Amino acid sequence: MSIGSVSSGHEHAQRRFPLRWPVLIIALVLVLLLVVQGFLSIAKPAEWLRIFIAPDLDDPRHVIGFYSFLPRLAVGLLVGGVLGLGGAVFQTVLRNPLAEPGLLGVASGAQIALALALVFAPGLWTFGSEPIALGGAAVALGISLLVASAGRFSSTTVVLAGLMVGLYCNAVFSLLVLFNHDYLINLLTWQAGSLQQGGWEVFLYLLPRLLPLAGLILLLQRPLNLLSLGDGQAKGLGVSPAFMRLTLLAAAAAMAAIVTSSLGLIGMVGLAAPNLARAFAPSYDGRRLAWSAILGALLLVGIDQLLRAITPFVGNIPAGAAAGLFTGPFLVILATRVRLGSAPQMGEPASETNALKHPGRALLVLCGLCIVSAALSFLVTKNAQGWAFSLPDVSDMAASFWRVPRIFAAAGAGVCLAVAGVILQGTLRNPMASPDLLGIGYGAGVGLAVAVLFLSNAGGMSKLAVASIGAFAVLAAIALIGKRMAFQPERVLLVGVGLGSAFHALMILLLASGNPRVAGLLNWYSGSMGNVGSSDAILVCVCALAVFLAAMLLKRPVEIFPLGDTTTRAIGLKVPQSRGILLLIAGVATTAATLTVGPISFIGLMVPHFVSLLGFRTIGVRLIAAALVGALMLIFADWLGRNIAYPWPMSPGLIASLLGGIWFLWLLYRRKGIVS
């Protein structure tokens, strides 16, 4: 990296975001004012120094200040700093702006370990939550790295392995909550990520564990900078890419695991801080790490202090749960104002020997499996007497009319999500791009919440219309902002993540509000298909057919975009227009599927990689295979979910993650991963 490139990067950042210093100063002043307001609510300024140095333990104000307010502030600064630093490591090593410290499944691993211990081995809690959480995080990290080792720790393989381990842990946790809600209610509160403290124990526990790991990362700053140039250049300069990637990711993931074991899940800070740091350090160097840590600390403390200040009006809201609501808008602004660099290139399978010799036969097998799955869903069911297999007769037409829409709705939604995933990952050149990433589903959820709150007497179609408005509002925002930025991949992704995180946090806060009207949204949010009717099935199937045909007509741009914008232009395609049309198609598909079956992340995220690992190579065949696999997974998952734990239904998205997750990780390991 030359000095000239660094200086030009700073000049570009100044030209694109000239107000970054005034904005930073204003943010710093606001955070300081919130801290001062917190001190003033406890004691007068004349007593502050005494609270710091020699608090009077007989004075309740001094006790609150020294044992609650100050530890909360210190923990926020420490945790925010290490999450920002860890996020910078992940994004630099993996060359992906969506990477963050919890990517390798450490947070989800800690969560599932605590849940399993509560349900099956509560005696382990006598040793405290930290050893259990660290053990779960270590197991999740080990599985992620074991799978990634097959692909020699290539960036794309690490990303996919970590994502899948996290999704699988989340699915198992949801399954445990479904059947053991009363046991896990306190764990659900813990996972929200509150920074409230009752002493200095947590800070003193975290400090000696986090500082050595942060120091190790700072010592490895030069190899980290070389990794940002690519594996080839790093190897030429004497750095082992696989070893350094493993060391840096393990250190950053360990920091996230330690934080999670003590405080719960604190999201978005590790993703937002390094991206915001680009405004002050456009180039990959030590300044990027420093700014990421500083902005991470500022973000988390600012969010937590604001939540503390408004507690008398809105109640106690944990910082971890609300982080997305505040960091989301920053990511949108960042995407429009700051230089982001080039997008990561999509990985391809490590070996062409894995390609199917007769893909047509494999497609016929998938078609047959879809038909068998649909027949199974229609003919086989479970009731109070047990399993039943029968052809519905005239007297059982009600059951037939109930099952058929669900089968077609599941098939249509599966096609929509899978095809949208193929389009997004190819068009945006990012293996982490998925339909739920754009925030469209959560926009629909917020619209549905508004309809439930303010149109309680309206019919189902009216509420569906308002939910559609919410979804298309997010899609329109992405399209309008994306058009201004010529639909550059990294910018579109950050806009989608920013809007999605804000709407997702808003959805969580609405669901946690306790309002009985909003509580009805839990059925939709969980991905249940129990209320799907004929009109829903027709709508999503029509959209699925239209989206699939449009994708097949535009398959050439989808195939070429992963080669880079320069190559795409050289071939003669208009990059902004083509990318905008493809994003619109993916957005419509996501909206139709989400309104029908709720937010389901596994299908759109993993099915495109799944079909590649199965050996489907050309884009046309991959689109057909993805559509069939998506339909097959959702039909079978819906049938299994409504029968396996009868009379308690389970979400098809949950079942798809449980069944597909293990298979995906096995294929990723056996096929030697996916190279960057």
Highest mean pLDDT among 183-187, 414-418, 468-472: 414-418
Residue 418 has pLDDT above 90, yes or no: yes
- Give 23-26's long-range contacts (Cβ < 8 A, gap of 24+): 24/280
What pLDDT is recorded for position 16? Answer: 54
What pLDDT is recorded for position 1? Answer: 41
Residue 601 buriedness (CB in 10 A; 0-12 / 13-18 / 19+): buried
Short-list 377, 380, 333, 137, CA closest to 254: 137
Average pLDDT of the residues in 546-569: 89
What pLDDT is recorded for position 188? Answer: 67
Residue 384 has pLDDT above 50, yes or no: yes
Q: Report residue 515's pLDDT band, with 50, 70 and 90 as the boundaries.
A: low
Residue 388 has pLDDT above 80, yes or no: no
Short-list 499, 506, 508, 77, CA closest to 303: 77
What pLDDT is recorded for position 8? Answer: 42
Average pLDDT of the residues in 10-34: 76
Q: What is the mean pLDDT of the chain?
A: 82
What pLDDT is recorded for position 648? Answer: 76
Helix (H) or strand (E) holding 348: strand 348-349
CA distance 594 to 349: 30
In this predicted model, which residue has the larger pLDDT, 587 or 159? Answer: 587
Assign 3-state DSSP to the chain and report helix, strand, coil percentages, each to 5: 75, 0, 20
Dihedral angle of Cα 274, 278, 279, 280, to the nearest 10 degrees: 90
Average pLDDT of the residues in 327-334: 78
Average pLDDT of the residues in 565-591: 86
Residue 168 carries which side chain, given as an amino acid letter?
A: Y
Short-list 383, 378, 421, CA closest to 626: 421
What pLDDT is recorded for position 401? Answer: 62
Lowest mean pLDDT among 7-21, 54-68, 260-274, 464-478: 7-21
Helix (H) or strand (E) holding 675: strand 674-675
What pLDDT is recorded for position 456? Answer: 67
Q: Report residue 353's pLDDT band, with 50, 70 and 90 as the boundaries.
A: very low
What pLDDT is recorded for position 348? Answer: 47
> Does the domain spanning 349-387+399-675 belong to CATH 1.10.3470.10?
yes
Fold topology of 3-341: ABC transporter involved in vitamin B12 uptake, BtuC (1.10.3470)
Q: Report residue 9's pLDDT band, with 50, 70 and 90 as the boundaries.
A: very low
**For the chain, first and last CA: distance in Å?**
21
CA distance 416 to 543: 7
Short-list 471, 429, 460, CA closest to 582: 429
What pLDDT is recorded for position 397? Answer: 53
In this predicted model, which residue has the larger pLDDT, 475 or 410? Answer: 410
In Å, what is the CA distance from 498 to each residue of 170, 277, 315, 364, 437? Answer: 22, 16, 25, 40, 9
Residue 2 buriedness (CB in 10 A; 0-12 / 13-18 / 19+): exposed
Short-list 528, 518, 377, CA closest to 451: 518
- Interacting residues of 287 by C-beta distance below 8 A, sequence separation 6+: 280, 281
In this predicted model, which residue has the larger pLDDT, 588 or 671? Answer: 588
Helix (H) or strand (E) holding 368: helix 359-379
Average pLDDT of the residues in 72-98: 91
Q: Report residue 30's pLDDT band, with 50, 70 and 90 as the boundaries.
A: very high
CA distance 333 to 561: 25
Q: Give SS3 for 238.
A: coil
Fold matches, 3-341 and 349-387+399-675: yes
What pLDDT is recorded for position 151? Answer: 77
Q: Let me know: does 399 contact 619? Beta carbons within 8 Å.
A: no
User: Domain residues of the chain, as ranges?
Assistant: 3-341, 349-387+399-675
Q: Report residue 83's pLDDT band, with 50, 70 and 90 as the boundaries.
A: very high
Q: Let me know: does 431 contact 159? Beta carbons within 8 Å.
A: yes
pLDDT in tens, 632-668: 999 999 898 888 877 777 888 888 888 888 888 887 8
Residue 398 has pLDDT above 60, yes or no: no
Highest mean pLDDT among 11-20, 115-124, 363-372, 516-525: 363-372
pLDDT in tens, 169-214: 888 887 887 777 667 766 766 667 889 888 999 999 999 999 999 9
Average pLDDT of the residues in 322-346: 68
- Interacting residues of 62 by C-beta distance below 8 A, sequence separation 6+: 43, 47, 50, 51, 55, 56
